[in-house]
Structure 1
Amino acid sequence: MAHVHLEDGAFTIEWVVIWTLIAVALIAIALYRLGGYAIPTRKLAVAAMCVAVGFAIFQIEIPVFGGVHINLTPLIGILVGPSLGSLAVLVINMFGAAIGHGGWGMIGANSIVNIVEVFLGFFIYRHLRCSWNASRFFSAFSATAVALTVSAFVALVIISISGIQGSTQGGEQTFANLLIMAAANIATGLVEAVVTGYIVSFIGKIRSDLLEMAEGEKRPETAETSQEVGTVV
């Protein structure tokens, strides 16, 4: 849900190159991990759907604190995993730049932020489900809330380090404004966490196979799974 809404020229070319190289390294790792096995057609279809939905919801801006939006990147991580999810958010950011939702030079920085969301969303959800046997709603809510909170500060750090060319604000004022932006993103992230929790719970009831990667091996039946079986039957 965090996103660097800056146009080309806001960062110096040096920082654009640095963030782009870091993003390229992360994408290269994702491609390397995906290269070891054949990706099921169903998983590719889900990833394509995530790109379409993610790109569409990116464009719905909530007019508070300069504009924030939901992007469902932790959900993408839960559904398709961190590697395929990293490629999905790269495509979303490229499409976004093509229509002016952030500059082309921001693709690297935004990909880093969104990959953090995908990675944390997947692994926190997996840990809560597999190690704690937590409910799907709680796991998805917690994973999303933590992922979006961390990514909000990652975006803040990226902008603070890079600096904004042509800004008339001093360093302290800029940082204060960025803190307000981060707080707004975190607050919006809690809303997204609730939405993601309900979406994952619903998917678990009708198509639990879509959550196999994030949930690992089959766990002993709990009250939640018993209720789900009863609902399906």
Structure 2
Amino acid sequence: MHISDGVLSLPLVSFGWAVTVIILCLSIMRFYRMDQNTRSASIPKIAVMTAAFFTASLVELPIGPTSAHLVLAGLTGVILGPFAFISIFIALFLQAALFHFGGFVSLGVNSMNMGLCALLAYFIYFRLAQHIDIRISAGLAGGLAVLFGALVVAVFLYLNGSEFLTFIRIELIAHFVLAVIEGLITAAVVSFIAKIRPDLLIRPPDPKKES
């Protein structure tokens, strides 16, 4: 789901950086508005999920005539909530610096894409978990995040030129398969955490108790 340097036009790259800077600043401001104890408790989670995202994105899965790498943006969003964008930006920066994965020019677009995937997953999980089992909520959030990210990449590539149409079709098909895989992974991880450390999960309010 990474877009390499030199693929997108300057306006698209600039747009990606503008959105990334805005969301990153808002996320950091929200992080520092929390009390010190909550911030201190959040830092280890952010570090762990940054490492998980960094590692997972390097794992390539062969899917038909192409391949796709794990993203785990959905899982990152479910675990970290509104601070997932910070984690993903750090991981993508390190990937660009250490492995030239994506690149620094396209870092804004890639951060915007996968960061918004994580925030979307958090929103879906938070809403659905009020009504259905958290494992199902997490699985749907993880899968839909992948589809959203693939769609954003497809739109950016299409806006950049019609010569990417064949690649876009193959990419979308591959990410439909990846969405199922990531949905299952997200559901399994959330189920495991709920059993051993439920305090690490973001718990939405129970509508029955509120009523």
TM-score relative to the length of structure 1: 0.81
Query: Does the 8 Å CA contact 1:74/1:121 hold for their aligned counterparts?
Result: yes
Q: Are positions 1:35 and 2:23 aligned together?
A: no
The residue number in structure 1 matching 2:13 is: 16
Query: Does the 8 Å CA contact 2:73/2:114 hold for their aligned counterparts?
Result: yes
Distance 1:93 1:86 in 2: 11
1:192-203 mapped onto 2 (5 Å cutoff): 192-203=182-193
The residue number in structure 2 matching 1:175 is: 165
Query: Does the 8 Å CA contact 2:146/2:178 hold for their aligned counterparts?
Result: no
Query: Does the 8 Å CA contact 2:85/2:115 hold for their aligned counterparts?
Result: yes
The residue number in structure 1 matching 2:61 is: 62
Query: Does the 8 Å CA contact 1:51/1:89 hold for their aligned counterparts?
Result: yes
Distance 1:157 1:30 in 2: 25
Alignment gaps of 5+ in structure 2: none
Q: CA shift at 1:11, angstroms? A: 2.2
Q: CA shift at 1:220, angstroms? A: 6.5
Select the structure of larger CA radius of gyration: 1
Percentage of pairs with the same residue: 24
TM-score relative to the length of structure 2: 0.89
The residue number in structure 1 matching 2:142 is: 144
Distance 2:188 2:207 in 1: 21
The alignment partner of 1:35 has SS state of helix
The residue number in structure 2 matching 1:224 is: none
Q: Are positions 1:206 and 2:196 aligned together?
A: yes
Distance 1:78 1:10 in 2: 31
Q: CA shift at 1:107, angstroms? A: 0.7
Distance 2:88 2:168 in 1: 23
The alignment partner of 2:6 has SS state of coil
Alignment gaps of 5+ in structure 1: 164-170, 222-233
When the two chains are superposed, the root-mean-square deviation of aligned CA atoms in Å is 1.9
Query: Does the 8 Å CA contact 2:125/2:137 hold for their aligned counterparts?
Result: yes
The alignment partner of 2:129 has SS state of helix
Q: Are positions 1:216 and 2:190 aligned together?
A: no
Give deviations 1:170-198, integer Å, cap 9, x for gaps. x2x52232122022112111111001101
Amino acid of the structure 2 residue aligned with 1:122: Y
Distance 1:20 1:136 in 2: 34
The residue number in structure 2 matching 1:104 is: 104
Q: CA shift at 1:42, angstroms? A: 2.3
Distance 2:24 2:70 in 1: 23
Q: CA shift at 1:90, angstroms? A: 0.3
The residue number in structure 2 matching 1:50 is: 49
Amino acid of the structure 1 residue aligned with 2:14: V
Query: Does the 8 Å CA contact 1:79/1:210 hold for their aligned counterparts?
Result: yes
